[in-house]
């Protein structure tokens, strides 16, 4: 008679008898929540103060960064200009290049999650989101189940490492359980959704940030699709936060923060998917990351203010079309400290290529911009590099 199989010391979260009744220690999270709400308020206050045109530019840049980040977490490097063009199209701004189906699908999902935050999240809606991510029905060269939950008999595992040396980080519920698991999740998500108007006698509602964190953990633990779970899980976070503030915004930058702390993100998520149903450590990480994301977005808003002030001053300087074009390119590249910056800094050669001017004209133009205080210079000779003269902006590293 074979020996009985011993239960795993750290069963996956969905294997607990109490699943999916996640719980947390509210008092342990109180300080982090206060800090997150403070940073959220600062960000929303900055956006209110900068005016409609600048706010639209900021929303575009934050949306672009979010799209790039949520794809990069999955190892998918999107073309920046394609993302910027797709986002500009969605915002009704001038798009500089044709659309890309792969990019447009992700942008559509992100838009629907926030713009349609007041609509219920359903099986069909999730299926359409996942279909949008894979318009050709493939992930890379591999055909995958699209527009439906996974139904393969093989275990759904999160693995890393080379063939033969794989490390299994997580194993999701069997495919046969997914419909029932998602029914529970979607019912909870709808029942905990903040109401537009709270009745005086209404019971206390679940804190919106904690709800977003729990939703992400729950969805990723079920891992209902053959591919695209990470991007959809982060779209659900955006949707939950939009529901929390009752506004279709995606300016908080959670995907960008998760990408910046990718290892910590995966570690925190993996730890929460094993052991007990106590989600407190995961929520602590999630809420603190939200606060950090808000601070980073505040930097993007301040950068927009810097750009507006700089352009206002530059208009008074009687610049040529060539000079204006180059300054716009440098401003568009942004601040190096915020992950932007014109690669290697501006040089005479680069100026000449951008404008079509001779090197002699490029040198005179750059010297004029330097004299007018619109550029600053670093290096000498062939190593001379120019950057936008905004005091708070870091100088790009020469290449």
The pLDDT, as a whole number, for residue 263 is 94
Identify each DSSP E strand in 61-196 by its residue range: 138-139, 142-143, 157-160, 167-171
Domain with CATH 1.10.3290.10 in the chain: 13-301
The pLDDT, as a whole number, for residue 197 is 59
Omega prior to 20 cis, within 30 of 0: yes
Q: Enter the DSSP assignment of 343.
A: T
Could you tell me the pTM of the whole model? 0.83
Q: CATH class for domain 13-301?
A: mainly alpha
Q: For each of the chain's 399 residues, which pLDDT tens digit applies?
A: 444 444 445 689 999 999 999 999 999 999 999 999 999 999 999 888 877 666 787 888 899 999 999 999 998 989 888 898 899 888 887 666 666 888 999 999 999 999 999 999 999 999 999 999 998 887 776 788 899 999 999 988 888 877 777 788 899 999 999 999 999 999 999 999 997 655 444 556 899 999 999 999 999 999 999 999 999 999 999 999 999 999 888 889 999 999 999 999 999 999 999 979 999 999 999 999 999 999 999 988 888 888 888 988 999 999 999 999 999 999 887 776 655 667 788 999 999 999 999 999 999 999 999 999 999 998 877 788 999 898 877 655 555
Residue 235 CA to residue 218 CA, distance in Å, equals 14
Contact partners, residue 270, CB within 8 Å, separation at least 6: 158, 169, 170
Give the H or E element holding residue 377. Answer: strand 375-378
Extract the tokens encoding 194.
């903040």
- Which fold, 317-388? Arc Repressor Mutant, subunit A (1.10.10)
Domain with CATH 1.10.10.10 in the chain: 317-388
Q: Do 66 and 55 meet the contact criterion of CB atoms below 8 Å apart?
A: no
Closest CA to 385 of 317, 336, 337: 336
The pLDDT, as a whole number, for residue 139 is 74
The pLDDT, as a whole number, for residue 249 is 84
The pLDDT, as a whole number, for residue 6 is 47
Closest CA to 26 of 210, 214, 205: 210
For the stretch 116-119, contacts whose Cβ atoms lie closer than 8 Å and that sit 24 or more positions apart, written own/partner, are 116/248, 117/239, 117/242, 117/243, 117/248, 118/196, 118/243
């Amino acid at each position: 008679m074979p020996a009985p199989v011993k239960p795993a010391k750290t069963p996956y979260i969905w294997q607990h008898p109490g699943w999916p009744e996640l719980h947390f220690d509210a008092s342990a999270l109180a300080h982090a929540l206060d800090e997150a709400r403070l940073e959220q308020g600062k960000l929303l206050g900055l956006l209110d103060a900068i005016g409609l045109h600048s706010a639209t530019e900021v929303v575009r840049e934050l949306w672009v960064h979010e799209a790039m980040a949520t794809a990069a977490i999955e190892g998918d490097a999107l073309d920046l200009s394609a993302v910027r063009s797709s986002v500009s199209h969605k915002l009704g701004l001038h798009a500089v290049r044709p659309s890309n189906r792969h990019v447009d699908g992700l942008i559509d999902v992100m838009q629907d999650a926030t713009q349609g935050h007041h609509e219920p999240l359903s099986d069909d809606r999730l299926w359409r989101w996942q279909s949008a991510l894979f318009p050709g029905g493939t992930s890379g060269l591999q055909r995958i189940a699209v527009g439906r939950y996974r139904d393969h008999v093989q275990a759904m595992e999160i693995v890393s490492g080379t063939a033969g040396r794989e490390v299994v980080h997580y194993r999701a519920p069997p495919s046969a359980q997914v419909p029932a698991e998602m029914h529970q999740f979607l019912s909870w998500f709808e029942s905990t959704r903040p109401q537009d108007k709270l009745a005086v006698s209404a019971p206390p509602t679940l804190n919106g940030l904690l709800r977003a964190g729990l939703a992400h953990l729950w969805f990723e633990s079920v891992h209902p699709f053959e591919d695209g779970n990470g991007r959809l899980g982060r779209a659900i976070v955006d949707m939950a936060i939009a529901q929390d503030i009752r506004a279709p915004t995606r300016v908080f930058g959670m995907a960008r923060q998760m990408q910046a702390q990718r290892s910590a993100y995966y570690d925190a998520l993996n730890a929460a998917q094993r052991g007990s149903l106590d989600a407190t450590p995961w929520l602590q990480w999630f809420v603190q990351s939200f606060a950090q994301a808000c601070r980073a977005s505040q930097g993007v808003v301040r950068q927009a203010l810097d750009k507006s002030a700089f352009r206002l001053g530059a208009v008074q300087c009687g610049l040529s079309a060539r000079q204006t074009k180059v300054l716009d390119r440098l401003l568009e590249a942004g601040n190096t400290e915020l992950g932007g910056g014109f690669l290697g800094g501006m040089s005479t050669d680069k100026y000449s290529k951008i404008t079509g001017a001779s090197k002699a004209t490029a040198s005179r133009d750059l010297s004029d911009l330097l004299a007018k205080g619109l550029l600053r210079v670093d290096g000498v000779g062939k190593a001379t590099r120019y950057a936008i003269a905004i005091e708070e902006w870091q100088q790009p590293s020469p290449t």
